[in-house]
Structure 1
Amino acid sequence: MSVAPLWDELTERLLPVFTTYRSHLADLPVEVKADTTLLTEADVAVQRIIVDAIRATEPDAAIIAEEDERQGPREEVARAGGRVWVIDPIDGTAEFVQEKRVEFCSVVCLLEDWQPVSAFVLAPELGSGGTPLVVTGDARGRRLTLDGATVEPPSDPREDRWLSATRSAGAPPRDFDRAAEETGFLLKTRTTSQTLDMVRAAIDLSGRTAPSLPPFELFWRRRQKVWDGIAGLCLGTAAGLRHCAEDGEPLPLTPSFFSQAEPVFASTVMGRPDVISWFLGTPH
């Protein structure tokens, strides 16, 4: 099954929905979930569109979606044989509900044999002038696209070398922060969309966004929920990046992990192999 028609359908169906909700933010109720993340009617509506589109072509699809409110084990995922869809309807809801912010996106990732193989990221207003950007990744074919055109991952390191390593607002600098700055890295520490930070590790978006967003040489998060990271891992694989836990061990891409009610990576690190090697040798 080719996923390209599904990605096209989702782009066509979701953009008007985002436009409608973003034009009425003042009237949009915002809930705070138990984990302190935000939930709006838009998250639920976008998730429903994505799930319906997947089930129209794959009625028995095993789906993990952020807003599905699962409490117990996902037995249908355990029985899926490794073919699973993961959905984050709006990654970066805290950005979405603020009129001037644009770092939010819809995310879909297809797993086969428990590995991320195809990813779709729609950022409705991230492009210059508030235009949409669509990123897709084919991990097996090592292909990345931006707005339908094949793109290459960032090549040689830039003079301004950025890492995505967020921390809680108001938290003091970490030993890692000091080590990174001493090595010459610049740090992004404010949390926005985790997926979009991973996109920027796989693709150079500078020049396509306003203000210009530089690429990251490394992405690091603790306690990352699967819907916030699995598409980014797919894009990273397509870009030839390395990913692992912060101790260097492989991530648990297993049936038991994905079958949890809320699969969460203890830590996620993704980037160029040489930068990962540097990271593993620093205090963190």
Structure 2
Amino acid sequence: MTSTNDHDLAIWLAEQAGAELLEVRRAGLEGKALKDAGDAASQAVLARLLAEYRPEDAVLSEEAADDSARRSARRVWIIDPLDGTREFSEPPRDDWAVHVALWEDGDLVAGAVAQPALGETFSTARPATVPPRTDGPMRIAVSRSRPPAFVDALAAKTGAQLVPMGSAGVKVMSVVRDLADVYVHAGGQYEWDSAAPVVVARAAGLFTSRADGSALEYNRDSPWLPDLLVCRPEFADEVAAFVRDHGDDS
């Protein structure tokens, strides 16, 4: 890695971890053993490289103990070494990801979401261009296992089509990739689930907020950040208003 640019570093980190995860997947493990090996291997890669290339920065990771010193740090890398562990453990599924984001002085400033099995990385270094929307029903990306209950009511009211898929990052990237128009979640998440997808989505011109339309905040005392809305800007008011009225049905 020769570039000192945070955007380029985020891509490289996510892709290095992704390459390691593909190697783990080829090792013949199954089930929980594969999940655990993937989590550990990707965390090891990211921890080692961040310590080497950004030794002064703090890190918040799903797979490491939370260091409270990050709350007073100016720069914090928020990482999810393996988003979609279940999908990772079910080859040849490709709907899992690696998240790498940088929070600096109060907001997210750079990030990358790698989908290694898809051979794609989405980043703030090279923001995606979301094409103009074509005619048809609103497409809502939802969890294939834990969709919030109010989403069915939202789909019924708007005539939307529900598009089930795996990890949180993959669902956000589905909006970036124009495979969906909206991702709304209210079933519980942490900062590492959404930080990298959110900063990448913002760079692509998409709307991002809490599910009710309020502002997202990162590097807080608790990393619990249970809900999320990422969508084309034209759907933001309608979906957020629906969540405010019906969000208790989550």
TM-score band, normalised by shorter chain: 0.7 to 0.9
User: 2:26 maps to which residue?
Assistant: 23
Once residues 201 and 182 of structure 2 are traced to their aligned partners in structure 1, the CA distance between those partners, rounded to angstroms, is: 11
TM-score, with normalisation over the residues of structure 1? 0.75
Deviation at 1:220, TM superposition (A): 1.1
1:210-225 aligned within 5 A: 214=179, 216-222=180-186, 223-225=188-190
**Of Structure 1 and Structure 2, which has the larger fraction of its residues in strand?**
1
User: 1:77 maps to which residue?
Assistant: 70
1:185 to 155, 160, 163: 160
| Alignment check: 8 A CA contact 2:111 2:124 kept | yes
Percent of pairs with identical residues? 25
**Counterpart amino acid of residue 190 in structure 2:** K
User: 2:232 maps to which residue?
Assistant: 272
After TM superposition, the runs of 4+ consecutive aligned structure 1 residues lying more than 6 A away are none
Change (3 A) 1:189 1:125: closer
- Structure 2 unpaired stretches of 5+: none
**Of Structure 1 and Structure 2, which has the larger fraction of its residues in helix?**
2
Deviation at 1:77, TM superposition (A): 0.6
1:97-246 aligned within 5 A: 97-126=89-118, 132-138=119-125, 143-144=126-127, 151-159=128-136, 161-166=138-143, 168=145, 174-189=149-164, 192-204=166-178, 214=179, 216-222=180-186, 223-246=188-211
Deviation at 1:117, TM superposition (A): 1.3
SS at structure 1 position matched to 2:16: helix
Once residues 29 and 272 of structure 1 are traced to their aligned partners in structure 2, the CA distance between those partners, rounded to angstroms, is: 36
Deviation at 1:20, TM superposition (A): 2.1
SS at structure 1 position matched to 2:99: strand
Once residues 55 and 200 of structure 1 are traced to their aligned partners in structure 2, the CA distance between those partners, rounded to angstroms, is: 31
Once residues 95 and 196 of structure 1 are traced to their aligned partners in structure 2, the CA distance between those partners, rounded to angstroms, is: 11
Give a deviation string over 1:8-65, Cα, whole Å, max 9, x none.
643663454233211224x35616xxxxxx9412211111111211221221220001
SS at structure 2 position matched to 1:68: coil
Once residues 237 and 153 of structure 2 are traced to their aligned partners in structure 1, the CA distance between those partners, rounded to angstroms, is: 17
User: 2:60 maps to which residue?
Assistant: 64
| Alignment check: 8 A CA contact 1:6 1:53 kept | no
User: 1:34 maps to which residue?
Assistant: none
Once residues 245 and 11 of structure 1 are traced to their aligned partners in structure 2, the CA distance between those partners, rounded to angstroms, is: 25
| Alignment check: 8 A CA contact 1:29 1:41 kept | no
Deviation at 1:78, TM superposition (A): 1.2
Once residues 240 and 125 of structure 1 are traced to their aligned partners in structure 2, the CA distance between those partners, rounded to angstroms, is: 25
Give a deviation string over 1:137-171, Cα, whole Å, max 9, x none.
25xxxx51xxxxxx3123224535311233755x8
Once residues 68 and 7 of structure 2 are traced to their aligned partners in structure 1, the CA distance between those partners, rounded to angstroms, is: 29
**Counterpart amino acid of residue 91 in structure 1:** D
- Number of aligned pairs? 240
What RMSD over aligned residues (CA atoms) do the two structures have, in Å?
2.6
Once residues 166 and 196 of structure 1 are traced to their aligned partners in structure 2, the CA distance between those partners, rounded to angstroms, is: 10
Deviation at 1:251, TM superposition (A): 2.0
- Structure 1 unpaired stretches of 5+: 32-37, 127-131, 145-150, 205-213
**Counterpart amino acid of residue 67 in structure 1:** E
Change (3 A) 1:180 1:28: closer
